[in-house]
Amino acid sequence: MEKQENRLKILRKEKGLTQTKLANEIGVSKRTIIAWENDERQIKPEKAQLLAKHFGVSVGYLLGYDNSPSKIFLKELEEQADHYLTDEEKEELKARPEAKNYYLDLVSWRMRDEQLAQLQQQDKEFDKDFIKFIEKYSIYLSDNQINQIKDLMKSMSSINTKYLNVITAGRYFGQMKDEKETEFKELFKYSKTWQEEYSTMEYNEKNNIK
């Protein structure tokens, strides 16, 4: 499969951000940003989502397998405003409609912060569940070995996610079917996310929906 280069550097420069500033805003090191931009390291799914939301593009466009920017429309943020703005801010917005973009920026950042908090909580739960697993089966590992295994699992998951996303974005149903029946049999049994993705692709294929 042809290697896809991500568009992180292009998007960062379009927004006038330095690597250091973007790193601080996303919560990673500058070295990580450099590695991502040079395709030296895979962008993990949770970080890809944060970056896509940050730049207002789809994850597919960010990662380079979708040529359509799919900019997030203001309407989407407007629909979320009622949930993410305080009553006082809503009143201020009514009184100052010219400040609409400012308040929509607030909505965008609060959505991002909420998502980041959820991802951090998921990481904590993963760590706890992993420890329970090795305790249950009497697997004796050092702290360093535990961290290496967890990092490897997350890295492999990231690579597989990007690969399957490429297939999904390209609507290569035949290839997805092959993967479901060969390399990823178990994944399609336990993952509701990929079960739903496959069902959608299968439906579109049968009904010739492009």
The DSSP element (H or E) to which 31 belongs, if any, is helix 30-37
Residues 172-185 pLDDT 10s: 899 999 999 999 99
Of 120, 139, 158, the residue that ends a domain is: 139
Same domain, 77 and 129: yes
Residues 100-119 pLDDT 10s: 777 877 887 788 788 788 87
Is residue 57, in this structure, part of any structural domain at all? no
Instruction: Give me the pLDDT at residue 81, please.
Output: 86
Contact 203, 209 (CB under 8 A): yes
| Residue 191 structural domain | 171-210
Is residue 5, in this structure, part of any structural domain at all? no
Question: Which residues make Cβ contacts (< 8 Å) with residue 160, sequence separation at least 6?
Answer: 184, 187
The model's pTM = 0.50
Within a 13 Å sphere around the CA of 99, how many CA atoms are in the beta-carbon half? 12
3-state secondary structure 33-61: HHHHHCCCCCCCHHHHHHHHHHHCCCHHH
Instruction: Give me the pLDDT at residue 73, please.
Output: 46
Residues 110-162 pLDDT 10s: 887 887 888 789 889 999 999 999 999 999 999 999 999 998 998 898 889 88
**pLDDT at residue 78 is higher than 50:** yes
Q: Determine the distance from the C-alpha atom of residue 205 to the mean position of all C-alpha atoms in its chain, rounded to a whole number.
A: 26
Instruction: Give me the pLDDT at residue 1, please.
Output: 40
Residue among 182, 184, 208, 204 at smallest CA distance from 194: 184
